Amino acid sequence: QQQHEDLSAKKLRLTKPSKSAALHVDLCKATSPADALQYLLQFARKPVEVESVEGVVRILLEHYYKENDASVRLKIASLLGLLSKTAGFSPDCIMDDAINTLQNEKSHQVLAQLLDTLLVIGTKLTENPSVRMRLVEVACKHLTDSSHGVRNKCLQLIGCLGPVEKGVAKEVESQAAKDVQKIIGDHFNDQDPRVRTAAIKAMLQLHERGLKLQQAIYSQACKLLADDYEQVRSAAVQLIWVLSQLYPESIVPIPSSNEEIRLVDDAFGKICHMVSDGSWVVRVQAAKLLGSMQQVSSHFLEQTLDKKLMSDLRRKRTAHERAKELYSSGEFSSGRKWGDDAPKEEIDTGAVNLIESGACGAFVHGLEDEMYEVRIAAVEALCMLAQSSPSFAEKCLDFLVDMFNDEIEEVRLQSIHTMRKISNNITLREDQLDTVLAVLEDSSRDIREALHELLCCTNVSTKEGIHLALVELLKNLTKYPTDRESIWKCLKFLGSRHPTLVLPLVPELLSTHPFFDTPEPDMDDPAYIAVLVLIFNAAKSCPTMPALFSDHTFRHYAYLRDSLSHLVPPLRLPGRKLVSPPVSPSITPHEDPSQQFLHQSLERVYNLQHLDPQGIQELLEFTIRDLQRLGELQSELAGMADFTATYLQCQLLLIKALQEKLWNVAAPLYLKQNALASAAAKQILEETYKMEFMYSGVESRQVVIIHHMRLQAKALQLIVTARTTRGVEPLFGMCEKFLQEVDSFQRCFISELPHMQGSFVDKLLDLMPRLVTSKPSEVVKILQTTLRQSTFLHLPLPERLYRASANIIEPTGESDNPLRFTSGLVVALDVDATLEHVQDPQGTVKVQVLYPDGQAQLIHPKPADFRNPGPGRHRLITQVYLSHTAWTEPCQIEVRLLLAYNSNRSKATAKIPKSTWSESTDALPQSENGIEGTIPFSKPVKVYIMPKPARR
């Protein structure tokens, strides 16, 4: 018996020549180190299977000891590390050998590489404390090496593998385990800056792994802030930040005085100081970290915005202070006097602190920095701090407003977004609003839209402010008519937020006159609509306002309420029939009539089991129609309605297909009917993918139902194929596949199965033992009956459901001027689109270009092309490169957006542990449900192009 096994093992090896053997032969053949290196390089290109890793490692080690050339040993060492990374391979068997190789190694480079290999091994065996201990010990031994590379790696190893738990250190009585922190801390003063950096990084690594760093390190870290090398300073800033988060309340003394302050304040001051460091890398780092130091006392925080101005030793007020004063004195900022910034009182020369150790003016410096990276980081930090401190938010406003005029668009955009995020805490002064509104004329659409967003949630203090905003928005509208929608939306919120401020403006805005009738404004004028949107939204919570309306205003209201229902709210108007019943406050959104209607229609559908086939179809058709209409009317329910409608549509298709006469007719006759049934199956499949991937908010309960529907469609497909094809051969495969799918369905949704009583799959699983053993023809028969008998499953609706949608803003598709370019060369087409409710657009949204000759091109936009202006919304601004051979005349191409999906990614299947496979297996069988595809989700836009033949 034993021998037999050996034999079989040998046989296996023969059929698949071992990698290790081949390598061995190669290495033995190598005559010179260069040769050997070549072989190793070639070898490294090919992956190695899990089972042969160990063998290969042994061969490599054998050569390692024989090899005299350091470069070859280096390569071997790096290969060892690479091999230990192989998934599924446990490197504990080669650890001893790897440690042994360290003993006699003279070359520093090879030593460093070997330590790197040990690090890889160690990270794969993190669960084993004794292994880690041992590796750390090895690393400590080599810490005295004279090469920075080796010390670097040692520290890295200690950082990654050093003991984090206190208990272990006591048990294992070894030198290394005593105090990793101390060992690493000793290297903070290493002579090589690279080692110093590595030491700090190792410390940070320990912190990340859960070790509580000692407070004693703080003073050491502070000294490192004055290091000559930027990497060290950058890492030290991080370390200080970590410590300030760990021990915020500890008290540290201020050097050169007897005072003491909280550690977090001290650290804050130190990091603030680094905002004016010589290296911009450090500045960015420091500015970023400032944002997350929220425990700092407000006194320190407010200092960051403070910069005492002086001129010839006399105190000067900043422009901000002047603006504020002018405002509070009731005078509008003139700014036209020479010398209104004239210096005032004398300053005591002793009191002026030119370089403060504290936080003074850190943000003032950060926001004025030369590099825009620093400015962006400062704006972000400002945002985070302001969100947690309303008083700081109020103070930093002036500075943020200033940033609206930065020379780099990204910075402007970022500061507008920041302002939006903190807008709950602030009220804009008029002079600030003035500056904010000035940006509305910006030619960048991004900026304008961000600003509209900002205005949506801004608090304005006076009616003049509202008026100013309206005037500026209207100016914006005339300059950039494409902003229409965005401006209307902005005014909607502006109106509903400030009803009392709008009220006194109404007569002026509507240009009504107490005695004279004024001409009726043009209803199609976007500016007039904008004014009305503002007024109607204000009127919603201000019942006295409608009294000021003139007759035509009411008429216009009725019109707008119908045509722009998303912008104009229902109003209770005196003496008029209400357009929609008043919403009494007692009714919760759940009992919203339209929602009720949705649920009722679904309830109705669920009873359709009891109807005759004809009735079922009719009911489904009506319900689908109702739902679709509902979706159009009620935008907030659109997702829900569409989703259910699609589901019912699938059901309808299924029922129709099953009712075809074809099932009773002899095989050759139903070719035509067959087309219908298989088309239905195909369409159901498509719809189910749409349901699964196009809606955000789909929960696993819905996913089950969707998958179930898909299973039914597949069953239908199987039946149809079985009916139409002759011969049993192809059916075997199909049946097999189908049964596999049923199986995987069961595995994925085992928890949901109890809810699926009487469904198709429920019945199918009962019959499973029979199905597995029976012939394809029988399987088909069984499937057909179960499919017919199975009940219709209820579709539970989630709380919120949104359908992904996309709208291509540019190209508009209206241009008659063809885009001319020389054939063979490329032309860039700007594509600008808004995406709503798309999750992970970077990964899923693609652009498709269809050429008239049927050629299709799929473009993956760069992740940076997506912007995120608000929750659930994305904006794609990208360039698509077109090219084609010469045409005789211009023709239209189609551009559309696709949503790519991969059913592997679906939420349900993500739970199944993936079979462990390494990169080494070349031809991996597609896992059973790894279907990838795309769903078009935007209207195609036509672009006129004309590739000209190249001139010779």
Partner 1 sequence: MPFFRLGPGAGQDVGRSCILVSIAGKNVMLDCGMHMGYNDDRRFPDFSYITQNGRLTDFLDCVIISHFHLDHCGALPYFSEMVGYDGPIYMTHPTKAICPILLEDYRKITVDKKGETNFFTSQMIKDCMKKVVAVHLHQTVQVDEELEIKAYYAGHVLGAAMFQIKVGCESVVYTGDYNMTPDRHLGAAWIDKCRPDLLITESTYATTIRDSKRCRERDFLKKVHETVERGGKVLIPVFALGRAQELCILLETFWERMNLKAPIYFSTGLTEKANHYYKLFITWTNQKIRKTFVQRNMFEFKHIKAFDRAFADNPGPMVVFATPGMLHAGQSLQIFRKWAGNEKNMVIMPGYCVQGTVGHKILSGQRKLEMEGRQILEVKMQVEYMSFSAHADAKGIMQLIRQAEPRNVLLVHGEAKKMEFLKQKIEQEFHVNCYMPANGETTTIFTNPSIPVDISLGLLKRETAIGLLPDVKKPKLMHGTLIMKDNSFRLVSPEQALKELGLAEHQLRFTCRVHIQDPRKEHETVLRVYNHLKGVLKDYSVQHLPDGSITVESILIQATAHSEDQGTKVLLVSWTYQDEELGSYLTSLLKKGLPQSTS
Contact footprint for partner 1 (CB under 8 A): 144, 146, 189-191, 228, 276, 278, 307-313, 316, 318-320, 335-336, 338-339, 341, 349, 352, 354-355, 364, 367-372, 402-403, 405-408, 435, 438, 441-444, 479
Strands 819-822, 941-948: pairing kind: parallel
Structure tokens at 849: 């270009």
Least Å from the CB of residue 195 to partner 1: 10
Q: Nearer Cβ to partner 1, position 346 or 522? A: 346
Q: Nearer Cβ to partner 1, position 354 or 750? A: 354
Residues with Cβ < 8 Å from 802, sequence gap 6 or more?
639, 695, 696, 697, 836, 837, 872
Q: Nearer Cβ to partner 1, position 361 or 569? A: 361
* Amino acid of residue 213: L
Q: Nearer Cβ to partner 1, position 370 or 799? A: 370
Residues facing 932 on adjacent strands: 902
Q: Nearer Cβ to partner 1, position 467 or 794? A: 467
Is there a contact between 859 and 846 (Cβ–Cβ < 8 Å)?
yes
Least Å from the CB of residue 442 to partner 1: 5
Least Å from the CB of residue 441 to partner 1: 4
- DSSP H or E segment with residue 303: helix 298-303
Q: Nearer Cβ to partner 1, position 189 or 607? A: 189
Least Å from the CB of residue 363 to partner 1: 10
Is there a contact between 126 and 88 (Cβ–Cβ < 8 Å)?
no
Least Å from the CB of residue 402 to partner 1: 4
Residues with Cβ < 8 Å from 428, sequence gap 6 or more?
397, 436, 458, 459, 460, 461, 465
What is the C-alpha separation between 648 and 620, in angstroms, rounded?
Answer: 7
Q: Nearer Cβ to partner 1, position 428 or 833? A: 428
What is the C-alpha separation between 170 and 177, in angstroms, rounded?
Answer: 8
What is the C-alpha separation between 105 and 342, in angstroms, rounded?
Answer: 73
- Residue of 272, 287, 276, 240 whose CA lies nearest to 382: 287
CA-CA-CA-CA torsion sign (404, 407, 409, 414) = negative
Long-range contacts of 337-343 (CB under 8 A, 24+ apart): 341/316, 341/317, 342/316, 343/310, 343/311, 343/312, 343/314, 343/315, 343/316
Q: Nearer Cβ to partner 1, position 9 or 352? A: 352
What is the C-alpha separation between 872 and 887, in angstroms, rounded?
Answer: 42
What is the C-alpha separation between 155 and 162, in angstroms, rounded?
Answer: 10
Structure tokens at 810: 């540019």
Distances 571 to 197, 527, 632 between C-alpha atoms, Å? 66, 21, 21
Least Å from the CB of residue 119 to partner 1: 22
Least Å from the CB of residue 183 to partner 1: 12
Residues with Cβ < 8 Å from 120, sequence gap 6 or more?
81, 84, 85, 91
Q: Nearer Cβ to partner 1, position 146 or 664? A: 146
Q: Nearer Cβ to partner 1, position 130 or 189? A: 189
Distances 357 to 270, 307, 363, 668 between C-alpha atoms, Å? 7, 14, 14, 93
Give me the count of residues in the chain: 952
Q: Nearer Cβ to partner 1, position 286 or 602? A: 286
Least Å from the CB of residue 115 to partner 1: 18
Distances 233 to 201, 280, 433, 482 between C-alpha atoms, Å? 11, 11, 40, 49
Least Å from the CB of residue 434 to partner 1: 9
Distance of CA 527 to the CA centre of its chain: 36
Least Å from the CB of residue 468 to partner 1: 14
Least Å from the CB of residue 743 to partner 1: 57
Distance of CA 548 to the CA centre of its chain: 48
Q: Nearer Cβ to partner 1, position 228 or 922? A: 228
Q: In angstroms, what is the C-alpha Rg of the chain?
A: 36
Is there a contact between 827 and 882 (Cβ–Cβ < 8 Å)?
yes
Least Å from the CB of residue 480 to partner 1: 8
Least Å from the CB of residue 812 to partner 1: 19
Q: Nearer Cβ to partner 1, position 26 or 810? A: 810
Structure tokens at 941: 């836009």
